[in-house]
Amino acid sequence: MGTQFLKPRQIRDNEEERDRLKVIMDQPDPDGKFNKGEVGAQLHRINKFLEEGTPPPTTPERRHELNREIATLEAEISDNMPFREDMVRSTPGTGDHHRKWEKANKSKILRWKDAKRELDPTNDDVDFTNVEILRRQNDLGKIVPFRQYAGVDMRGGDIVPGGIPDAEKIEARIAPPEVAVVVLEQEEPTEAQSFTVACDDCHFARTKDTKKKADSALRMHRLKKHK
């Protein structure tokens, strides 16, 4: 890939080191305190690093060209880029998706960074060339409100065959209330409910507030009385 354009802070740091080494090279050293051959080699490396890493001056025509290139690269890089919420919540499969996307877009990302540095070489914003600023957010506006009652996914009062996809539930959890009003926990009944069970072999009967509790009471009775 070659040397990438340096950040403003990196350029300043290297320029300061270059100036320091120049002073060493120009001053006498009767005691042999400095190995000027080694200092000269360091100075040569820094000069080469700065020469390759410092964005060149631009013309209006070049700036127009860079703006167009940046826009094209951003569209290509963000295409198929894993959503921000999926990355934060480690949605299953996101890790492999991200690695494949990163491998396929590595050269474009480096070129995007260079184009931005060439267009605005003095920009010190820490996120100026951070590819994360291109990561998309899930389109929460497409979420259709749903409810989950007694462990069953329902939408508009109807049971959803196969249930709501996990990815949609993750999006719903991060959606602001004004986008999607979603109840993921078991809905509280509006009226008191009761479930009665009776034994076919005797006069045993029990009433509980949930079917699960009622069935459990009947099983315990049968184990004790009708082994």
- Dmax over CA atoms of the chain, in Å, equals 113
- Statement: the pTM of the whole predicted model exceeds 0.75: no
Give the position of tokens 């100036």: 19
Q: What per-residue confidence (pLDDT) applies to 190? A: 47
Nearest to 6 by CA among 40, 52, 47, 38: 52
DSSP state of 137: P
Q: Quick one: tokens of 11?
A: 């350029």
Nearest to 117 by CA among 27, 1, 8, 3: 8
Give the position of tokens 């877009």: 105
Give the position of tokens 């950040």: 7
Measure the CA–CA gap between 223 and 203, rounded to whole angstroms. Answer: 15
Per-residue pLDDT of 80-129, as tens digits, reads: 888 876 776 666 788 888 899 999 999 999 999 999 999 999 998 888 99
Distance in Å from the first CA to the final CA of the chain = 78
Give the position of tokens 């890493």: 53
Query: For residue 160, is pLDDT > 60?
Result: yes
* Overall average pLDDT of the 17-33 stretch: 82
